[in-house]
Amino acid sequence: MTEFQYVLVAVFFVAMVVGYFIINKVPSLLHTPLMSGMNALSGVTVIGSLVATALAIEAPYKVLGYCLGFLAIVLAMINVVGGYVVTGRMLRMFVHKEKNDA
């Protein structure tokens, strides 16, 4: 690995630890609205994983790059779809049901 790749791995691990501590401090009441608001950022993650997988052509370990890229795309899409499902459930809580008095 090059020095640049070591820096990227270090940034990844620092971001992972910082993200864990930030999410841990969010009250459970705010977690669902914040998660539904993060769908746009999850979409950016999907685009990033697609680009990283496309650039695996130039990597020395092409098969490993494709496998990890595919895994990243699948996990990012699970995050996006799950966020929209939770948002749909949350929005359905605020729909008023009509009462039939007849």
Mean pLDDT over all residues of the chain? 81
One-letter amino acid at 78 equals I
Provide the pLDDT for residue 74: 92
Provide the pLDDT for residue 36: 67
Contact present, 80 and 46 (Cβ < 8 Å): yes
What is the tens place of the pLDDT at every residue in 5-47? 899 899 999 999 998 888 788 777 776 677 666 776 778 888 8
**Is the predicted pLDDT of residue 85 greater than 90, yes or no?**
no
Provide the pLDDT for residue 13: 93
Global pTM reads 0.59
